[in-house]
Amino acid sequence: MSEEVMVNDVAAPHVPHAGRPQIHVVPLRGLPVAGVAVIFVALSIGFNWRWGLVFNHVVGGGLWTGIDLFVGLVIGPILGRLSIPARAEFSARFMPKMVIIMPTVVLMTLATGFQVARNAGNLVATNPNHAWLIVSFCVVGVMATIALGILEPANIAVLYEMNKPVPNGERIGRLMQRFIYTAGITGVMQIATLVIMTRLGSR
């Protein structure tokens, strides 16, 4: 139901938005925060700093999974029921923040995750956790390919489209459909991540 409403609503082409403020595709104020996170990750790996590695992996992973599930299961359906202007206004403020937040939390999680697994001995083939770890690599691989190859380009393209004097609503709707089509896969992968990681952590 919500998907149908969403597709039909955004199918109205060329909706002018006179006097709209320009959207910053990359919010510059967020870059220093991302920079600090990157430096923190590099130092944690470089000095093999156990707390730093665990902090980055747990906090980054928790945020990644939490944000993905919350956006997919809560924000997405709400957004689908809003009017076009409300949806456009929300997206214009929300999506640029995601451009900074998601790559940062993904980098925090993945770069330190390998080190955490290595230090815990989970990379050793005879370790009982090794098989679970390989499954988690596959889960992350699927999510990374979807996020980087399908969703992020669509996100940036939508923001550029919204910055045009006359945005094409039909085109925005088509690009946004990618989020609907992949939400199920991402949701299943994130729940699998929760199962795998809690299982690894409790053994």
Partner 1 sequence: MSATSSHSPAVQSDRPVPPVGWLSTAALGLVVVGGILLASYAPRVAPLGLATALLCGAIVLLVLAGALLARIKDFAWATFASVFRWALLAYVIASGMIEFAFVHDHTRGSSLVLVTLMLVVFALSVPTTMAFTVARYAETR
Name the site residues for partner 1 (rule: CB under 8 A).
13-14, 26, 38, 41-42, 45-46, 103, 107, 110-111, 114-115, 118, 123-125, 133-134, 137-138, 141, 144-145, 148-150, 152-154, 156-157, 160-161, 164, 166, 168, 170-171, 175
For partner 1, the closer of residues 70 and 160 by Cβ is: 160
Smallest distance, Å, CB 60 to partner 1? 12
For partner 1, the closer of residues 7 and 150 by Cβ is: 150
Smallest distance, Å, CB 199 to partner 1? 18
Cα gap 71→138, rounded to integer Å? 22
Smallest distance, Å, CB 78 to partner 1? 26
Cα gap 39→144, rounded to integer Å? 22
For partner 1, the closer of residues 44 and 190 by Cβ is: 44
| Residue 95: closest CA among 74, 69, 76, 73 | 76
DSSP for 75-121 reads: IHHHHHHS-HHHHHHHHHHHHHHHHHHHHHHHHHHHHHHHHHHHHHT
Sign of the CA dihedral running 173, 78, 166, 162: negative
Smallest distance, Å, CB 13 to partner 1? 5
